[in-house]
A = this chain, B = another copy of it.
């Protein structure tokens, strides 16, 4: 029995407490907002979080502090490779479970969560421990069914002994978690004492948790095992919202198959041997081949992988599937290096000043609540566009809160140089080189100014450019023009139509106006407040959502507007014609 002391201590002391509170942050349950794309049913991945080791409270931002995204990814990947995902029976006896697992090695960390049943993520100290665990695992014998004997690190716990059933009292405390409806959350927001606190509370409530982040890397690692069968040197990295610091719980898991590690030394003179390899006309065709095979494997072999679609003719070919044990909607791409650079850039900006993450987070939640963004592709503003808009706004403060991309490029060292497909993607990786200006604006001020800024921005003439941190004349006709930070000839928001831009502007005007009203910008009373105020008001259904002019807007008590919320949200999520 090699169960580490800290695990045993935590086990002994924490069984009786509800584990909703973890590392000082409320771990919220939430529903995947993609009922439509994910098997026509809504599922919840509720990180119920039996957190074995309780490291000193630090918050994941501070913890990962000045680490570059690359360093963070390497660390998380290594962690994930030492981890397994285990489906448990609801009556699993936690103590026996841990004792059983620790026969194979020290457990560094573990936690439970609910998603189509009870699951545990278990991180061992060494990869050999995982190998040992798998060595002892058996192939299920199912009557009337057959199984595809593909072995992975996704396992099921079976309790063959009836004795344990009597131990219900010492059983796992973790119960299925339900999602907190948005109107409940709005009520909670209304109890905060300042708009700054509301923004912080929103961010803390919906941001990715430590556990959710681990789970994302674990799913990448499980998928990597499939890809590595043919490309042993490959890695699969999450990118986008899963790692840029701005992801909400429940966001898609975007993954990137990186084959650049595949080595082939350059031959010297004389005889040499080359691998015979299939050839294709283009890198794109190679990517399609590889994704086609991986998609087929995921579809036929991948346990818990359902709804697999090979979308190989897209501009960026991808394999899409739902990973039931984690509840993630997954997109796997390959050779998507510019997207990875964009992720790194967003991550860097988010790390520079805590206000960046909070403001982006709040604007993203606000936009989603009003149907400005959507999980369905269409003429909507994307989360990426919206984030660039916030970054641009922060660059444009009289004392800029974040530097321009050009400045970050100028600070880059020789090792930072990066040119991808002819695009200069160079920027500094050493955060300590970046000197920030002493802007002291509050989150409330910034949020208010953000809405004001875009309520009056000359979208018809100007393009947003975060490389230079200033607007420029539009190089081409498009309702909204945001220069792609790396592929500078491209417009990030090319998809956005005039109707959607107008809605966004109208909503900015409304929100700006609301935040200037005394009735909405001050708390309404004591701890039992139920009337929405501040940020809560901004998240209620808007009166301008469907119209282009502020003239038709009429005010009604915010409490009235809560009722129609779900109905209204439903309607807004319908695809619009562009």
Residues in A lying within 8 Å of B, measured CB to CB: 86-87, 96-97, 100, 133-134, 136-140, 142, 145-152, 154-161, 226, 229-231, 259, 262-283, 285-286, 289-290, 292-293, 296-297, 300-304, 325
CB of A105, distance to nearest CB on chain B (Å): 14
Inter-chain contact A146/B259, CB cutoff 8 Å: no
Most chain B CB within 10 A, of A134, A150, A161, A267, is at: A150
A264: B residues at CB distance < 8 A = 137-140, 149
Residue of A154, A277, A282 with most chain B CB atoms under a 10 A cut-off: A277
Contact B148 A275 (CB under 8 A): no
Closest to A96 in B: B271
Tell me whether B161 and A273 are in contact (CB under 8 A).
no
Task: Jot down 17 A-B pairs with beta carbons below 8 A, ordered by A.
Answer: A137-B272, A138-B267, A139-B264, A140-B277, A146-B283, A146-B285, A148-B280, A148-B289, A149-B277, A155-B273, A156-B276, A158-B271, A160-B271, A161-B269, A278-B300, A293-B301, A296-B296
- Give 11 A-B pairs besides A140-B277, A152-B276 with Cβ atoms closer than 8 angstroms: A136-B273, A139-B275, A140-B274, A148-B277, A149-B277, A155-B274, A278-B301, A289-B301, A293-B293, A293-B297, A293-B301
Residue of B nearest to A85 (CB): B276
- A293 — which chain B residues lie within 8 A by C-beta? 293, 296-297, 300-301
Contacts of A286 in B (CB 8 A): 146-148
What's the number of copies of this chain in the assembled complex? 2
Cβ contact within 8 Å between A281 and B87: no
Instruction: Report the nearest B residue to A92, measured CB to CB.
Output: B271
Q: Complex Cα distance A286/B149, Å?
A: 9
Contact B300 A137 (CB under 8 A): no
Separation of A133 and B274 alpha carbons in the complex (Å): 10
- What CA separation (Å) do A145 and B296 show in the bound complex? 25
Residues in B whose Cβ lies below 8 Å from that of A270? 100, 159-161
User: What 6 pairs across the A-B complex have the smallest Cβ distances?
Assistant: A139-B264, A229-B229, A276-B303, A289-B300, A147-B277, A138-B264
List of B residues within 8 angstroms of A271 by Cβ: 96-97, 100, 157-161
Which residue of B96, B97, B138, B147 is within 8 Å of A278 (Cβ)?
A: B147
B303 touches A138 (CB 8 A): no
When distances are taken between beta carbons in the complex, the residues of chain B under 8 Å from A265 are 136, 138
- Inter-subunit contact B273/A158 (CB<8 Å): yes
Q: Is the CB of A152 within 8 A of B285?
A: no
User: Would A278 and B150 count as touching, CB distance under 8 A?
Assistant: yes
Other-chain contact of A145, B140, B161, B281 (Cβ < 8 Å)? B281
Task: Report how far A531 CA is from B293 CA in the complex, Å.
Answer: 58
The smallest C-beta distance from A520 to any residue of chain B, in angstroms, reads 50
Q: A283 to nearest B CB, angstroms?
A: 5
Which B residues are CB-close (under 8 A) to A149? 231, 259, 262, 264, 275, 277
Nearest B residue to A139 via CB reads B264
User: Are A266 and B138 closer than 8 Å at their CB atoms?
Assistant: yes
> Closest residue of chain B to A86, judged by CB?
B273
Contacts of A97 on B, CB cut-off 8 Å? 271
A265 to B151: give the CA distance in the assembly, Å.
Answer: 13
Which chain B positions have C-beta within 8 A of A276? 87, 140, 152, 154-156, 303-304, 325
Chain B nearest CB, measured from A302 CB (Å): 7
Contact yes or no, A230 B273, CB < 8 A: no
Roughly how many angstroms separate A279 CA and B304 CA in the complex, as a whole number? 10
**Contacts A146-B281, A230-B150, A285-B146: A138 and B275 contacting too (C-beta < 8 A)?**
yes
Q: For A267, what are the chain B residues with a Cβ–Cβ distance below 8 Å?
A: 138, 158, 160
CB distance from A433 to the nearest CB of B (A): 36
| A302 neighbours in B (Cβ, 8 Å) | 278
